[in-house]
Every structure is written in C-alpha cells, then in structure tokens.
Amino acid sequence: MLTDTREAPPVPRLLPVLAGHRLFAALLLPAAALRVVTMLAYRPATLYWYDSFTYLDTAVHPAPSATFHPIGYPLLLRALLPFHSVGLVAAVQHVLGLGTGVLLYAVLRRRSAPGWAAAAATVPLLFDASFLRLEHAVLSDSQFVFLVVAGLAVLMWSPRLSVRAAAGAGLLFAAAALTRTIALPLLLLVVLVLAVRRAGWRPLAALVLAGALPLAGYAAWYAQHHGRFALSGADGVALWARTMTFADCARIQPPPELARLCPNGTRTDAASEYVWAPGSSLNLLPGDRFTHNDLARSFAIEAILAQPLDYLGDVVRDTAIAFSWTPIPHPDRVTPAFGFRGGRWELPAQPLVEQVKREYDPDLRGLSSVSPWADLLIAYQYAAYLRGPFLGLILLLGAVAAARRPGVALLPWAVATGLLVGPVAVLDFDHRYVLPVVPVACLAAALLRPEAGGAGRGRRYGLRGWAGGQRSGSAGTSTTSGTFSTGA
C-alpha cells in the first residue's frame, strides 16, 4: 500500500494571528459599525461657534493663533482641504478613534496583558457615546487622544527604551502639544517619570531634543507674527480665569497695574466663563482680552502665591466633578452627556461662517439628525456612558498597577492623572477634557496583572505577525447648544 509522503501545505500565517485576537476583533467590528451609524445619523458634522470655525479658517490661512488654538489640528484640516468636506473630516476622526483602540490593544498585548484585559481596556474608547460625538465634531480632541496614546505606545513597546523610540515619542508628544497646549506639561511629566525609572541619559536626551525642536520652531514662527517667543497667547488669560473663583485682592495686595484685574463683583457658574463674561474685569480693559495675556498671567501667579490653599481647594473641588454618577453641567450652558438629540441646527451667526463656506466647504450647512439612525444613538447613549465612579475605579486600579509594576504602569497612570488635573489647574473642569483621560487610565489599569509566561506569550498569540516582532529595544516607529465648551 502506497503512502502519500508529500508534506501538507502550510497553514496560512493569517489564521493564527486572527485566532489570538478573536475577542478584540469581535469588539472592533461593532465599534466600526457604530461610527458608520453616527455618520448616517448626523450630517454633515458637528460645528461649534468659536472652535470649529476658527480651526477651519486657520486651515485655509495657516498662522499661529494668538488665542487658545495652536496649529496642530488645523494642519490635519489643511491636509483634507482638497476634498472640501467637513463630513470627510468627521470620517477621518472616526478612523482615528478606531486606530487609537488598535494601538491601545496592541501595546497591552505586547506588554503581556491578558487578552481579555487588553480587549476590555478598549471598550470605553470604542463604545462610549461621548467618544462618538467627539469624533463627529470639528474639534481637536480625537487627534490629541490618538497622539498621546501613540506616544505612550512607542515608549512602552519594549522593556528597554531605545534612542529611536524615545525620539519618536518626543515627536508625537510635541505634535500633541501643538494640537492642545495641555500636552506641554505632559511632555515634562513623561521625562520626569522616565528619569525616575532610570531609562538612561541617551533616550532621555533624544526624547527632550525631539520634543523641543518642533516646539521651538513653532514658537519662533509665533514670535514672527506676535512679537514674543511662545506657543500660545491665552495661557495667562486662562490662569487668570482660574483664580477668579477665589482671588481676594485684600490678601493679594497686587500693585496698581495688576489691581485692575481684581474680581469686580461679576459672578459666573464656572471659572472658564470669566474669559468670556462681558462684565469681568479683564473684558473691561481696553482692547482685545488676549492683548492682556502677560498682565493676566502676572496677576494669576500673585493670586496663587498669596492663596495657595484656596487655589488647591478649587482645583480639587472641580476635578471631583469627573467622579459624579449623574453628569453635572459645568458650566450650566453645556450638555455634559447624552447629547445626541433629534432635530436640525442652523449654522450660528458667526463672522467666519461665510468665509469658511467659500474657502473650505461650499456645501457647509447646519447639522441635521436622520431617522432611524439618530433614534438608535439617542437610545444607545444612555447605556453607553462611563459613569464617574467607574472612571474613579479605573484610576484606582491604575494606581495599584503603578505601585506593583512601576516599570510598565507608572508612566500611563501618571499621564492619565496629568490629563485629569492639568486642565482644571490651568483653566477649569470640562467633561470634554476628561475624555482623553479614559483610554490612558484604561491602559494603566489593564497592566495590573501580567499574563502567565511574560512577554514571550506575545508570540503564541500572533503579535509577531502583526505588531512588529519581539526585538527588545525596537521601536514602532457648534451648531448645537454648546455640548462642549471652548478652551485650550
């Protein structure tokens, strides 16, 4: 009896790769479907009175802004300018949201997190209705979240940080700082954590140099336009607004030139509202509010030094809003959650509207909800919302992971904490500003317990096939009623 001695054909490599990630694939597909539903439900994209039109105008006329918005996000909009469609902008941002989830999952599996934990860590990012709304708006946040997670992924990809990986992360965090300026202190925080972990002077130097060069180049460009070497012309105004909730000039005793910025009896329901309140002392000074940025910063520093406990108390109080079970409007004019609604919203009476229609999207129009897709999202959002106590639990688990595994979990936990407290410390609390905290906090929490077998398990689960191998040290290099408030 003859026996066929020919070798069986090899099993395609794709099958074991997919077999190791079935749970994540089962999450990614419905997450993508939800984003398609969002595109069908609300057309063309959500636009906000100040932020969106300023971003679109800067995309057409690139220049460093003297207000809250650096150049990072307008550069993405400019790359999409040839298509003349804000709907396409929203679609690209939905893809960025999915890409952030893939990055999150990949780095967790690379660092030996169990498959179920890595997949679970992506659930809030992929399924929370707040992220769907954010990605569908002409706002910088989706790009910012992607850049921060990408920077962390590069730094955490291998146990030993290489010079190349550090340089790549420095560029990513610099891009994040040029998207939202709150990432500038994050870059300093990352350097501090890596120094504590003794990452080595060469990687640290590469990180600092790669991060500093783009920022210095932008600051020099800013100086050409506005006469001073800076990234923003609104940091002092923001910090001044922060102090208006506690400043007592009888205790501060500012010099006469700063005394003009003392509280004058005007009251608002949130610190950030003092930037825009017509009766606030800053807005009673001659000229545009941002021309007094340096003066406002000097007053704010005087106030904080004179009343440090009052300042810290207000920061703690406002940060605590993030942990409430029922979303608290802050300020009262915003909708912190459950913002999907039915209806039509016309373009606002904004001076830039007609110019943006001519130069960026001739078909620009008000937002419209479309049934039945909008009806699905309106019902979905009430279940798909990360309640504040659960965010607190995630941060607590991340703190435990940072204590138990500081070499791997301390960095994302520190960045998540910085993202939570930083905006409150320099301006105010905003539910929109909490959303970047979520994926980074989930990244730290998912590292609480390594999978048995360590990093070598990544081969068994197919990570080598799609995530770049196991080489140690290598680097993968509105038209609505103010659902999100403006800010830096």
Reading the block at residue 481, the tokens are 């009623």
List the domain range (segments joined by +) for residue 355: 14-229+325-467
Query: Residue 474 domain-assigned?
Result: no
CB atoms within 10 A of CB 1: 2
> Do residues 99 and 130 share a domain?
yes
Query: Residue 394 domain-assigned?
Result: yes
> Do residues 218 and 240 share a domain?
no
Give me the mean pLDDT over the 130-144 stretch.
Answer: 96
CA 147, 33, 440 angle in degrees (round to 5)? 30
Query: Residue 402 domain-assigned?
Result: yes
Has this prediction a pTM greater than 0.85?
A: yes
* pLDDT (tens digit per residue) in 54-98: 999 999 999 998 888 899 999 999 999 999 999 999 999 999 999
**Three-state DSSP class for residue 472:** coil
> Do residues 195 and 304 share a domain?
no
User: Which domain-ending residue is among 308, 333, 367?
Assistant: 308
pLDDT score at 486: 35
> Do residues 248 and 148 share a domain?
no
Distances (CA, A) of 210 to 172, 188, 206: 9, 13, 6
Q: Which helix (H) or strand (E) holds 42?
A: strand 42-43
pLDDT score at 16: 53
Q: What percent of the chain has pLDDT over 70?
A: 88
H-state helical runs in 68-200: 72-79, 86-110, 115-121, 123-127, 129-135, 141-156, 163-177, 183-196
> Do residues 63 and 190 share a domain?
yes
Q: Is the pLDDT of residue 172 over 90?
A: yes
* Average pLDDT value for the chain: 88
Reading the block at residue 58, the tokens are 């800067």
**Three-state DSSP class for residue 43:** strand
* pLDDT (tens digit per residue) in 358-388: 999 999 999 999 999 999 999 999 999 999 9
Q: What percent of the chain has pLDDT over 90?
A: 77
Conformational region of residue 63, where left means phi above 0, alpha means psi within -120 to 50, and beta covers everything else? beta
> Do residues 42 and 141 share a domain?
yes
Query: Residue 361 domain-assigned?
Result: yes
> Do residues 239 and 225 share a domain?
no
Of 122-126, 244-248, 267-271, 471-475, least confident by mean pLDDT is: 471-475
> Do residues 370 and 264 share a domain?
no
Contact 128, 384 (CB under 8 A): yes
Query: Residue 478 domain-assigned?
Result: no
Distance from the first to the final alpha carbon of the chain: 80
| Cα 238 to the center of its chain, rounded Å | 18
* pLDDT (tens digit per residue) in 334-359: 777 788 999 999 988 888 899 999 99
Contact 476, 158 (CB under 8 A): no
CB atoms within 10 A of CB 69: 24
Query: Residue 159 domain-assigned?
Result: yes
Phi and psi at residue 345, to the nearest 5°:
-125, 120
Give the chain's domain count. Answer: 2
Phi and psi at residue 104, to the nearest 5°:
-60, -50
* pLDDT (tens digit per residue) in 282-303: 999 998 889 999 999 999 999 9
Looking only at the bridges linking them, the beta strands covering 42-43 and 367-369 are antiparallel
> Do residues 415 and 379 share a domain?
yes
Query: Residue 425 domain-assigned?
Result: yes
Q: Is the pLDDT of residue 232 over 90?
A: no
What is the Cα–Cα distance from 320 to 277, expressed in whole angstroms?
A: 25
User: Mind giving me the DSSP string for 269-317?
Assistant: SSGGGGGT-TTSTGGGSSS-GGGGHHHHHHHHHHHHHH-HHHHHHHHHH
Q: Is the pLDDT of residue 488 over 70?
A: no
pLDDT score at 437: 98
> Do residues 285 and 402 share a domain?
no
Q: Which residue has the higher pLDDT, 411 or 18?
A: 411
Q: Is the pLDDT of residue 5 over 80?
A: no
User: Which domain-ending residue is among 251, 282, 308?
Assistant: 308
Contact 324, 268 (CB under 8 A): no
pLDDT score at 18: 53
> Do residues 270 and 354 share a domain?
no
What is the Cα–Cα distance from 23 to 28, expressed in whole angstroms?
A: 9
What is the Cα–Cα distance from 374 to 197, expressed in whole angstroms?
A: 48
> Do residues 125 and 46 share a domain?
yes
What is the Cα–Cα distance from 299 to 293, expressed in whole angstroms?
A: 10
Query: Residue 348 domain-assigned?
Result: yes
DSSP state, 454? G
